[in-house]
Structure 1
């Protein structure tokens, strides 16, 4: 035997379990954060309702609601009712706006476009303005933007030539306390008494005004700044209106439109769906089901359009106005 002692063999090292990557761990944390956010939002909503119901029963609340019921009188020559053109404009605007949101989200989230579009009028282009290749999603987004703007121009012309503008443009500072009163009544789950056929409550008026005269123009000017139609060589103009400002505002405006749609549709359905839908879709103030039927048809069309926004559908449409390639 040799003088060296034998050492016991070391046990084989146990394989260590792979630690979850940051992405997997974040994926597991997301549902928990989402649940916490939803829970806090529900708690906050309940507190708002309880506080609103308490305040409206106090002497101060009762006096405020008596002084400001939620709406103010329109000018004597204000038109009554919703004309047919306004109902059609409402439907078209809703359709285009939904597609703008859908295509805008695709432009923001699509990493590898399936195809690209190049405008066909290359013969009119110069070396300073070469044809620019854009994704199909961006082409459709811009195309729907053009339709939305054209429809909006028609809407504004008819709005001011028929006098319907007084229904959505505030004509008195009483709109502010009355809007607060309407918000208090909504928050307390006791809807304000209203007749949209004659006059919107002040909170509705401010909401519609903000969408038509603030959010829509802001979406247009920020989108135009980011588009290929913007003059790239205008140094002073670009310094005065940096593209970073447009990018910082364009997406929040889209979120505002989405939030408006959700709240608007929810209140339309919750505060007398049959009558409200007759107003905005059938341009009539009665108990018929025509408005609901038209709404159901347009809803099916909008859902179909949402899912139809795919390269197989977009490609032949884009090919009508330019050249479509895979790269």
Structure 2
């Protein structure tokens, strides 16, 4: 009886097996079609372009907010008792000795340009040395010695030229009597510098007359750059260079290389910050007149200094892009051997 009932059951539809067959065919087609891997975002250093843009925007917004807070705070300080009288007594500069000559001689203009040009390339090559993983080429001295990267050779070569330029500037500065422009000659430089700083922070900036006399804050900053920061960069740079005697154990113990590294990089950051603020103030306090001072050699207000400054920027940009192994190798070969490993 059971067997009869089983035989009476209707057969399964013929179309039922088609479903797994279609699924199998679709799977086969999908397996044959290659899947394109998602393109990875290009990195610029340690971040993508979008990440760098976001970072720059955030830093810019933060800087504007911080600047606004400082301006409001400084203006609040000027309303405190005694501050207006202080600003009136110390306007931001003191009178130089009568023997101080106004203007900027030709040698000051040339050393100023060379200093800017060399500093930009020194900062670039120094950053490359600090961040490089695999140098593009190596350099070995003709007389034998340690093999170093071509970026380090460029950095040290530029340092030598920069020191020579600075030495010429300092010698001519004292020989001509122009040292009084950047070396304080009165204790009044300090209260006047504080007054000038407060005026800058309130955006009610001190009157600029750089052709005759810098304000006291400028004078202190130029003195700091020429007579403290520059020698500090030189002393620490020599300690880290190949010119330092490696076998002088007593000397190395007195002046360890770790101490030089700890000072050298912050000094470079100081120069970067100084250059940015210096260029900003040159343009913000009378661009044409200021540029004529250091590039045109006159106190006139015309476009001569601006176009000379533009040419100096063009030369510096060209030097920036020329500082690569393809251009550096033939020059480096004049003083040693260049190799790829």
TM tier relative to shorter chain:
0.7 to 0.9
Query: Displaced runs of 4+ in structure 1, greater than 3 A?
Result: 24-41
Q: Deviations over 1:120-157 (max 9, x none)?
A: 123xxxxxxxx110001000001111100111111111
Q: Normalising by structure 2, report the TM-score.
A: 0.83
| 1:233 Cα offset (Å) | 1.6
User: Within 5 Å, which residues of 2 pair with 1:308-319?
Assistant: 308-319=322-333
CA contact (8 A) 2:208 2:285 kept: no
1: CA distance, partners of 2:106 / 2:337: 39
2: CA distance, partners of 1:206 / 1:238: 33
1: CA distance, partners of 2:161 / 2:103: 27
1: CA distance, partners of 2:258 / 2:48: 29
Identify the residue that residue 182 of structure 2 maps to in structure 1: 168
Q: Does 1:186 align with 2:185?
A: no
Q: CA RMSD in A?
A: 2.1
Identify the residue that residue 83 of structure 1 maps to in structure 2: 105
Identify the residue that residue 88 of structure 2 maps to in structure 1: 66
| 1:268 Cα offset (Å) | 0.2
1: CA distance, partners of 2:226 / 2:208: 22
Q: Which of these residues, 84, 96, 100, is aligned with residue 118 of structure 2?
A: 96
CA contact (8 A) 2:96 2:213 kept: yes
1: CA distance, partners of 2:321 / 2:47: 31
In structure 2, runs of 5+ residues without a counterpart are 1-45
Count, aligned residues: 297
CA contact (8 A) 1:167 1:199 kept: yes
Moved more, 134-143 or 71-80: 71-80
Higher relative contact order (CA 8 A, sep 6+): 1
2: CA distance, partners of 1:210 / 1:315: 36
Q: Does 1:249 align with 2:263?
A: yes
Identify the residue that residue 289 of structure 2 maps to in structure 1: 275
Q: Normalising by structure 1, report the TM-score.
A: 0.86
Larger Rg: 2
Structure-2 change in CA distance of 1:32 and 1:285 (3 Å): closer
SS class of match (1:145): helix
